[in-house]
Chains A and B, each alone.
Chain A
């Protein structure tokens, strides 16, 4: 029985199936998520598969600052993902609402609505950072399923230039600074 548990834990870590959801993103992070599956980065080496249905997924990848319209959809999809599951907030937007902070059309950040396990900061984050975040989320998922313990959310380190100047902030936004500060907090 112990062997089976070990095998299950190992399998969960090596077979993360993703469901990608856009919560009002500018499409920058979505492009980077897809880029992490393309030949240059090839996340399938870790067993990653992008699934069409949330029922098949283990890890919910959410991008964007969570607009008013997206909140109910995100809650529905979160409930549709079968356990054990994990949530990744991709980009600075779902973590802090980024440059759109204080907008009246937003209901973000994401962790107000559903529990988030991994934050991948960056605007947009590099595909390497996203793959690192997926691997971390798969590890959290397997640990939580094995021990039935709550695991604290993790903020991944910024990989490469956080902001490629793709967004309005030009790399020096409050959000980027804030996510770096959050990073400092979780450092041991």
Chain B
């Protein structure tokens, strides 16, 4: 019994710290950030940044000064990026990439909650910075998150409800069905808003409100925000990749398929971002509530119907 617990603990730690956790996720985060910038540059007919650019940016930001921050608000401002990074890393660590990774019942709910925390940190960071641009950005992020999350959660719920499980590894091991693809498409539609990409890059709309919630951040704190953004990329694309990926028994093949699928999704999202312009906030909200919600509701209805019939 004792041995079992120790084994479980070691597996959990290995997943959080090595694969798909920090040791894998941090370089992957930098790689995806580079892919995003490079894809946008290629779409615009430019050559784009060198391969190591996100890493250099990160190191440089670590070496910069931060403005003095006083009181509780200052303490909170320092805390938000750290919370965002740790929760995003935790979300990556939960992904069922390896065949026998040893998840638990309900880890899907934990993953969804962890995916949501960085966005809440961004909202809180904008408001605690006291900058008018930060506050506008935070308000936009809050409105956006209310809109896309309904669709996002319903889409995942439809997949989970049809199979009667909240366990990630059980979901990843399912055979593909039309309903599952409907859910995956709905999740993909939500990812640009979750990752602040065009056409839904409203919270950090750089030509309108400077950098939104990040306006007052500098140095190592900004480096942590960049890292948490990269980790969100890994977690969000990884979630879709695990839902799409076929179940294979070989560990290395599973890793390879996971990385290749994530890379494809990052490329797809970046190309869409480069090809579109930013929508207004009311258009965005209308898009999610009027156009996309119908599909998500249909998916959930179909899932429930399938379950009752079975």
* A residues lining the B interface (CB < 8 Å): 7-8, 10-12, 14-15, 17, 38-39, 42, 44-45, 47, 49, 51-53, 55-56, 58, 80, 82-84, 145
Contacts and interface: CB of A to CB of B under 8 A. Distances in A.
Contacts of A56: 211, 214, 217-218, 222
A53 B46 contact: no
A11 B215 contact: no
Given A47-B49, A55-B218, A80-B67, 13 more contacts: A11-B57, A11-B59, A12-B60, A14-B50, A15-B57, A42-B46, A45-B50, A47-B50, A47-B57, A49-B57, A56-B214, A56-B217, A82-B66
Contact of A82 (B48, B65, B133): B65
A7 B62 CA distance: 11
B310 to A, nearest CB: 53
A149 to B, nearest CB: 17
B218 A45 contact: no
10 contacts: A11-B55, A12-B60, A14-B56, A15-B56, A42-B47, A42-B48, A44-B48, A47-B53, A55-B216, A82-B65
A47 to B, nearest CB: 5
B192 interface: no
Given A15-B53, A51-B211, A52-B206, A82 B63 contact: no
B71 interface: no
Nearest to A50: B206
Interface stretch (B37-45, B109-117, B174-182, B193-201): B37-45
Q: Which of B45, B53, B67 has the most CB of A within 10 A?
A: B53
A12 to B, nearest CB: 5
Contacts of A51: 211
A11 B65 contact: no
A9 B222 CA distance: 19
Contacts of A49: 57
Given A51-B211, A55-B216, A84-B64, A45 B56 contact: no
B68 to A, nearest CB: 11
B60 A58 contact: yes
B219 interface: yes
Interface in B51-91: 52-53, 55-57, 59-60, 62-67
B104 interface: no
A11 B37 contact: no
Given A42-B41, A44-B46, A52-B206, A11 B60 contact: yes
A37 to B, nearest CB: 9
A138 to B, nearest CB: 10
B49 A52 contact: no
Contacts of B222: 55-56
B40 to A, nearest CB: 10
B198 to A, nearest CB: 15
A44 B56 contact: no
Contacts of A145: 63
B46 to A, nearest CB: 4
Contact of B215 (A7, A15, A53, A84): A53
Contact of A39 (B44, B62, B133, B217): B44
A10 B211 CA distance: 26
Interface string B183-214: 00000000000000000000000110111001
B214 A45 contact: no
Contacts of B50: 14, 45, 47
A44 B49 contact: yes
A94 B285 CA distance: 45
B46 A55 contact: no
Contacts of B55: 11
A128 B158 CA distance: 55
A44 B66 CA distance: 25
Nearest to A57: B218
B59 A7 contact: yes
* The 3 nearest A-B residue pairs measured at CB: A52-B210, A11-B59, A55-B218
Contacts of B214: 53, 56
